[in-house]
Amino acid sequence: MNDESVNNPFAGVVGQEEAVSRLIGASVSPVHAYLLLGPRGSGSLQAALGFAALLLSNESEGQALERHQRLALDQKHPDLVVVEAQGATLRVSEAEAIIRHGSISPVEGKRKVILVQGVDAIEQAAIGKLLKVIEEPPASTIFVLLADKVLPEIVTIASRCVTVEFGPISVPVLETVLVAEGVDPKRAKAAASASGGDIDRARLLVTDEALAVRAELWRSIPERLDGTGSMVHELTAQLREVLDGAQGPLEARHGAELEALQQRVELTGERGAGRADLVAKQKRELRRQRVEEMRFGLGTLARFYRDQLVDRPDPAAERALLAISQTSAALVHNPNEALILQALLLNLGLVRTRR
């Protein structure tokens, strides 16, 4: 943690000035629950930690204030509880753990902050439990919930919170950040454009030598589809192969994290030291990365068909875009990857757009 982060707990949040301003204002006289709404990589998690840092250091000064903020930003403050689903959804057991944490008095100050990630991926059976504790929270507890979007399932939870919205970070802002971090401008532009407004993904992509190769494969699909099942099979195999390869940079980072953990264990003599939690977190990151890479590919593919609509209507291109959009939407349900790709390519193979 650097001095800039302590002086400004939101130093790591870029391109979200309005949201940060609202959180700074809210920290003066906070209510019981906030919903930070925005996609992963938009800075909402870092902003939530910055908000927690302000809430937990509110009545402190000097070194005490710096200590509270440092611990909160590092997710080590005794009065900050960070909850993330251990599987694909936020389960009943995790909602019950949130209730237990909320009922325990703060250790060091007058407030406790419970930060819950991925509230939009909550099981139906857990909704009522989480809603009850948010409706009737302990006086000392402030909930900070994170979600990509307000799905119908969490409308009642969202209605009990003050909502602060985070949009995807713009490509120019991402480019500027990456170049400032020492990335070559051309590589920064390519990574920013392929990141979907996700700063974490952009930073990962600048280390990915095969990004251009994957983009070119997706762009080539409409021209290669010939209506045959054999071509669909060939393209599906190639796409899955490059999806596997796209996980290389993330797997390398995970290996470095595990090595650093092992070195700390050897140095301190700690047993376990959170290895199981780290491995579980890495598995979740790999799942998310694969979905993000699929969305990048589908977006690249969609641009081909949008180009067909520049001059005049093209019903075939519109049908192709609808099929791509439906495939992208289906990714939230964790479908069989090979089958969903085959179904899409078969549909696109039946489409004949202007060439």
pLDDT, tens digit (0-9, with 9 covering 90-100), for 285-339: 898 889 989 999 999 999 999 998 988 888 999 999 999 999 999 987 888 999 9
pLDDT for the residue numbered 6: 55
Residues 6+ apart with CB under 8 A from 43: 12, 13, 14, 15, 16, 19, 166, 169, 199
With respect to residue 354, please indicate whether it lies within any of the assigned structural domains.
no
Q: Are residues 184 and 72 in the same domain?
A: no
pLDDT for the residue numbered 321: 95
Do the beta carbons of residue 158 and residue 35 sit within 8 Å? Answer: yes
Total domains present in the chain: 3
pLDDT for the residue numbered 121: 84
In 3D space, the residue among 56, 178, 152 whose CA is nearest the CA of residue 113 turns out to be 56
pLDDT for the residue numbered 275: 81
pLDDT for the residue numbered 310: 87
Tens digit of each residue's pLDDT (9 = 90 or more) over 195-217: 989 999 999 899 888 998 999 99
pLDDT for the residue numbered 239: 96
Q: Are residues 156 and 173 in the same domain?
A: no
Mean pLDDT value across residues 103-131 = 90
With respect to residue 355, please indicate whether it lies within any of the assigned structural domains.
no
Answer whether residue 160 shows pLDDT above 90.
Answer: yes
> Which SS3 state, helix, strand or coil, does residue 36 take?
strand
Q: Are residues 16 and 131 in the same domain?
A: yes
Q: Are residues 196 and 218 in the same domain?
A: no
Do the beta carbons of residue 309 and residue 318 sit within 8 Å? Answer: yes
Q: In which domain, by residue range, is 256 found?
A: 208-349
Q: Are residues 314 and 235 in the same domain?
A: yes
Outline where 27-170 has alpha helix (H).
Answer: 44-56, 62-73, 92-103, 124-135, 155-159
Least confident window among 84-93, 140-149, 268-277, 285-294: 268-277
Q: What secondary structure does DSSP assign to 166-196, as a single string?
A: -PPPPHHHHHHHHHHTT--HHHHHHHHHHTT
Distances in whole angstroms, Cα of residue 231 to Cα of each of 82, 223, 294: 47, 11, 19
In 3D space, the residue among 53, 115, 43, 126 whose CA is nearest the CA of residue 88 turns out to be 126
Least confident window among 48-57, 132-141, 276-285: 276-285
Percent of the chain with pLDDT over 70: 95
In 3D space, the residue among 86, 133, 81, 79 whose CA is nearest the CA of residue 111 turns out to be 79
DSSP 344: H
Q: Are residues 193 and 288 in the same domain?
A: no
C-alpha distance across the termini of the chain, in Å:
54
Q: Are residues 82 and 118 in the same domain?
A: yes
Q: Are residues 229 and 191 in the same domain?
A: no
Answer whether residue 228 shows pLDDT above 60.
Answer: yes
Answer whether residue 4 shows pLDDT above 60.
Answer: no
Answer whether residue 242 shows pLDDT above 90.
Answer: yes
Answer whether residue 344 shows pLDDT above 90.
Answer: yes
Mean pLDDT value across residues 228-245 = 95
Q: Are residues 58 and 131 in the same domain?
A: yes
* CATH number reported for the structural domain that contains residue 42 in this entry: 3.40.50.300
Tens digit of each residue's pLDDT (9 = 90 or more) over 63-112: 999 999 999 999 999 999 999 877 667 889 889 988 888 888 899 888 99
Average pLDDT in the chain:
89
Report residue 46 as tokens: 């870092």
pLDDT for the residue numbered 109: 84
